Structure 1
Amino acid sequence: MSTNYYAYGPFPGGQTHSEGLHIGQSAAGWRFLFHSHPDLGLTTLADWDAFISRDDVTIRNEYGVDISPEEMRETMTETTSREGRALQRRFHYDNDDQYVTSGGHSFSRRDFH
């Protein structure tokens, strides 16, 4: 099972009547998959962390549940499951559609949900 997360606020893609700006996806057994938005400067964990901490950003999952910045940060940085098993990285190499940061965080440049 997977869950997608979105940001809402006064920025491109963040309108409340839209789907929202896609932050990324969590999925059982896998580390968080980030959606890269180079046009907005959102290409690393640090970028996303600063962005979701802004006062004008609301985070919501695909089921309509609001998520606090602290909860989102925890979801984005989890490396082990609730059972204590290591979560797998989504990607292990870079190409035109994806990359992995030095911290081991996977980013996709293409749309996914």
Structure 2
Amino acid sequence: KYPGRAQWAVRKAGRIVGMCGTKLEADECMIYGLCILPSERKKGYAAELIGFVAGYAAKHGVKSLCLDVDTSNEAAIGLYRGCGFEKRSETSYYGFTFGKLRKILKKTSIRD
């Protein structure tokens, strides 16, 4: 019903511990709503999910991943930078500042 959009979940022992949505547009994949249960953070699930999305996007000919993050969320920014994202721009929405981050996909990001 919504072309180019998908939802992804990470499961642990049959229980959903994290998820995100994606939208493929031209040569870019937007990641939105990435969240991990507080009790399951710092266990690698977010990086695993981002790696999966990178492989999915690369298989669909996408050249980069993008996402927005609250500039005060240092933990998330550290995670994204650790996954290879770089700051692209900043935008203010209703008193909050969000940074747009981008990761260029390379052939090594493609999963078979």
TM-score band (shorter)?
0.3 to 0.5
Between Structure 1 and Structure 2, which shows a larger proportion of strand residues? Answer: 2
TM-score normalised over the length of structure 1: 0.39
Between Structure 1 and Structure 2, which shows a larger proportion of helix residues? Answer: 2
Higher relative contact order (CA 8 A, sep 6+): 1
